[in-house]
């Protein structure tokens, strides 16, 4: 039972709920002397967001600047998503991602109808995704979908007449997560918007197997867009060929040096950005990790290195790092809500609902 050793007396309204003792860079850094170019954002009008392949560096930057604006301004009062219904269709359940999208919509005064688990639906009964797409046309203005099958996106798109945001399709992609990831990295180092000097280019470490893990896949794909700023990408994976054919081709075309290793300690002292993952989860089984795939108090991190993790985490990322300046992962999670808001406003073309002085309406 709750004992008197708690202090429920902390006044939880005074503290900035977004504060943590980790790194929490000011989003306004992204906007200094760099106003948002709405013409670039308008490329997303009526678009589905399915893959990082739809993005170039310019579009990534504008979305992140728009998210920074939403994070640093009181937008809600202008009710940008008023009258819009978003369907959160999570055939593969996920608390974190679903609540992130739902919070994003509700704070903009949109509305939600939700499938939080695929087990008790028409899909469970064998109904085709084609028919489910036709159903969504009738019920909402935009669909956010997560599905266990990689082919789910291909299957639903033909009948869907409202925009679809891919929240994860099997071992395919997870594009909005990558935008959240790079939003955090850009807040940490806004100079990445331009071209870094050779001696400043970053060494990026990615733990995981891009060829089979969708968040890692999308993150690597998006990182290649920053080829002018990255000196090396080290992939830490147990697999011999963690990239797969398509990503190998793209990586080679980028000109960035790619290094594969199965031990993070081999490279960690040189890493500037470390993208961690719960690789222990393959399907529903969990296997124990060893120090080759973990970050903890013993890890020899570079002085200013920052760590990302899409969360949920198990023991690959020790909580002892939470209160250090290496912790960029809480900022990453918090920023995801604003990235998703930026996408909804852009896709549903609701720029004219924003305060006029905040964003130029072309």
Decide: is 51 part of the binding site for its own copies (CB under 8 A): yes
Q: What angle do CA 306, 288, 205 make, to 5 degrees?
A: 25
Among 26, 35, 56, 83, binds its own copies (CB under 8 A): 83
Question: Residue 202 or 328: which CB sits closer to its own copies?
Answer: 328
DSSP-assigned states of every residue in 280-303: TEETTEE----GGG-B-TTS---T
Total residues at interface with its own copies (CB under 8 A): 95
Least distance CB 130 / its own copies (angstroms): 7
Which residues between 226 and 255 bind its own copies (CB under 8 A)? 246
φ and ψ at residue 36, rounded to 5 degrees: -70, 135
Q: Rule CB under 8 A: choose which of 48, 178, 209, 346 binds its own copies.
A: 48
Site for its own copies in 174-213 (CB under 8 A): none
- The string over 47-61, giving b where at least 16 C-beta atoms fall within 10 Å of a residue's C-beta and e elsewhere, is ebbbbbeebebebbb
Tell me if 150 sits within 8 A of 169, measured CB to CB: yes
Looking at 26, 56, 58, 139, which residue binds its own copies (CB under 8 A)?
A: 139
Residue 107 or 193 having the CB closest to its own copies: 107
**Residue nearer to its own copies on the CB measure, 97 or 299:** 97
For the bound state, the minimum distance from the C-beta of residue 201 to its own copies, rounded and expressed in Å, comes to 28
CA distances from 205 to 61, 216, 237, 297, 307 (A): 21, 11, 11, 18, 9
Among the residue ranges 89-97, 186-194, 289-297, 353-361, the one whose residues contact its own copies (CB under 8 A): 89-97
By CB under 8 A, what part of segment 104-133 binds its own copies?
Answer: 106-107, 111-113, 115-117, 120-123, 125-128, 130-132
CB nearer to its own copies: give 137 or 191: 137
CA triplet 55, 115, 43: central angle to 5 degrees? 20
Task: Work out how close the CB of 198 gets to its own copies at its nearest, in angstroms, rounded to a whole number.
Answer: 32
| Sheet with strand 164-169: strands edge to edge | 111-115, 85-90, 142-147, 164-169
- 362 in contact with its own copies (CB under 8 A): no
By beta-carbon proximity to its own copies, the closer residue of 267 and 289 is 289
Question: What is the per-residue DSSP string for 12-58?
Answer: TTTS-TT--SS----GGGGGTT----HHHHGGGTT--B--GGG--HH
Specify the stretch interacting with its own copies by CB under 8 A; choose among 6-14, 24-32, 185-193, 249-257.
6-14
Q: Which listed residue (34, 134, 149, 228) binds its own copies by CB under 8 A?
A: 134
Residue 90 and residue 271: Cα distance in Å, rounded?
A: 35
Those residues with Cβ within 8 angstroms of residue 162's Cβ, 6 or more apart along the chain or in another chain: 136, 137, 140, 141, 142, 143
Which of 23, 49, 156, 359 contacts its own copies by CB under 8 A?
Answer: 49
Which residues 6+ apart lie within 8 Å of 205 measured at CB?
233, 234, 236, 264, 267, 268, 271, 273, 274, 275
336 interacts with its own copies by CB under 8 A: yes
Which CB, 100 or 299, lies closer to its own copies?
A: 100
Q: Are 276 and 316 a contacting pair, CB within 8 Å?
A: yes
- Residues from 295 through 334 that contact its own copies (CB under 8 A): 311-314, 319, 330, 333-334
Instruction: Pick between residue 46 and residue 360 the one whose CB is nearest to its own copies.
Output: 46
Is 283 an interacting residue with respect to its own copies (CB under 8 A)? no
């Amino acid at each position: 039972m709750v004992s008197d050793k708690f202090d429920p007396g902390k006044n939880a309204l005074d503290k900035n709920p977004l504060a943590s003792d980790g790194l929490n860079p000011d989003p306004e850094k992204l906007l200094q002397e760099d106003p948002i170019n709405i013409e670039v954002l308008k490329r997303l009008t009526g678009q589905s967001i399915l893959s990082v392949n739809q993005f170039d560096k310019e579009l990534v930057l504008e979305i992140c600047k728009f998210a920074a604006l939403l994070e640093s301004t009181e937008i809600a009062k202008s009710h940008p998503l008023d009258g819009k219904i978003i369907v959160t269709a999570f055939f593969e359940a996920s608390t974190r991602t679903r609540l992130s999208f739902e919070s994003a919509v509700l704070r903009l005064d949109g509305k939600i109808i939700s499938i939080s688990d695929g087990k008790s639906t028409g899909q469970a009964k064998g109904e085709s995704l084609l028919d489910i797409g036709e159903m969504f046309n009738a019920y909402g203005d935009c669909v956010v979908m997560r599905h266990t099958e990689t082919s789910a996106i291909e299957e639903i798109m033909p009948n869907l007449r409202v925009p679809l945001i891919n929240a994860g399709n099997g071992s395919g992609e997870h594009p909005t997560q990558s935008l959240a990831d790079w939003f955090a990295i850009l807040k940490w180092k806004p100079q990445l918007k331009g071209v870094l000097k050779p001696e400043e280019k970053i060494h990026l470490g990615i733990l995981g197997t891009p060829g089979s893990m969708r968040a890692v896949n999308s993150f690597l794909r998006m990182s290649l867009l920053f080829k002018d700023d990255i000196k090396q990408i080290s992939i830490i994976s147990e697999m011999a060929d963690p990239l797969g054919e398509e990503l190998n081709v793209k990586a080679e075309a980028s000109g960035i040096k790619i290094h594969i290793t199965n031990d993070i300690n081999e490279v960690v002292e040189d890493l500037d950005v470390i993208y961690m993952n719960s690789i222990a989860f393959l399907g529903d089984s969990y296997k124990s990790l060893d120090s080759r795939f973990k970050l903890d108090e013993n890890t020899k991190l570079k002085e200013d290195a920052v760590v990302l993790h899409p969360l949920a985490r198990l023991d690959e990322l020790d909580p002892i790092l939470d209160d250090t300046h290496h912790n960029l992962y809480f900022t990453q999670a918090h920023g995801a809500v604003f990235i998703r808001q930026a996408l909804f406003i852009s896709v549903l073309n609701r720029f004219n609902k924003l305060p006029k002085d905040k964003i130029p309406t072309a």
